[in-house]
Chain A
Amino acid sequence: MIRPAVTSLILVAVAVALIYRAGAPPSAGNGNSNGSPSTITVLCAAGLSPVMGELTDVFESTAAEDSSIKIDVSYKGSAQLVALHRVAQSGDLLAAADTFYHQPLIDSGLCSPADIVAYQTPCLIVATDAAATGSIDETLLSGKFRTSIPKRGHAAIGRLVASIEGTEKYNSFSRLATVTRETVSQVAGDVDQGVVDIGIAWNTTSLQFENTKSLTVDAWQGYRSSIGVSVLSSSKNVAAAEAFKEFLGGQRAKGILKKHGYLVSDGPGHQGSVEAQP
Chain B
Amino acid sequence: MTHGDRNFIKVISVVAAAYVGLLLAMVLANVMLITGDLASAWGTLARPEIQQAILLSLGTSLLSAVLSIWIGTGIAYLVSRERFPGQRLVDFLMDLPIFLPPLVIGISLLILFRRTPLAALDDVLGVAFYVPAIVLAQTVVGVAFVYRTMKATFDSMSTRQERIAQSLGCSRFGAFCKITLPQARQGLVTAAAIAWARSFGEFGPVLIFAGSIRGRTEVMPVSIYLELNSGNLIGAAMIALVMIAIAAVVLFVARAAADEQKISQEGGEQ
13 CB contacts below 8 A, A to B, read A1-B176, A1-B178, A8-B69, A15-B60, A15-B66, A18-B55, A19-B59, A24-B131, A50-B231, A74-B213, A87-B111, A208-B231, A209-B231
- Residues 71-112 of A, flagged 1 when their CB comes within 8 A of B and 0 if not, give 011111000000010011111000000000000000000000
Q: Which of A129-137, A168-176, A181-189 binds B? A: A181-189
Contacts of B46 in A (CB 8 A): none
Interface residues of B, Cβ cutoff 8 Å to A:
52-53, 55-56, 58-60, 62-63, 65-66, 69-70, 107, 110-111, 114-115, 123, 125-132, 173, 176-178, 181, 188, 207-208, 211-217, 226, 228-231, 233
Nearest residue (CB) in A for B40 is A210
- Give chain A interface residues in 21-75, CB to chain B under 8 Å: 21-29, 41, 46-47, 49-50, 53, 72-75
Known: A87-B115, A208-B230. A15 touches B59 (CB 8 A): yes
Contacts of B123 in A (CB 8 A): 28
Main secondary structure, interface of A, reads helix
Partner of B114, one of A76, A90, A186, A188: A90
Q: Contact between B131 and A27 (Cβ–Cβ < 8 Å)?
A: yes
Q: How far is the CB of B219 from chain A (nearest CB, A)?
A: 9
Q: Contact between A183 and B131 (Cβ–Cβ < 8 Å)?
A: no
Q: How far is the CB of B35 from chain A (nearest CB, A)?
A: 16
Determine if A17 is an interface residue (Cβ-Cβ < 8 Å). yes
Nearest residue (CB) in B for A46 is B229
Cα A53 to Cα B60 with chains together (Å)? 25
Counting from the closest, the 3 A-B pairs by CB-CB distance are A28-B126, A18-B59, A27-B126
The interface size of chain A toward B, counting residues with CB under 8 Å, comes to: 48
Interface residues of A, Cβ cutoff 8 Å to B:
1, 4, 8, 11-12, 14-29, 41, 46-47, 49-50, 53, 72-76, 84, 87-91, 183, 185-186, 188-189, 192-193, 208-210
Known: A1-B181, A46-B229. A19 touches B56 (CB 8 A): yes
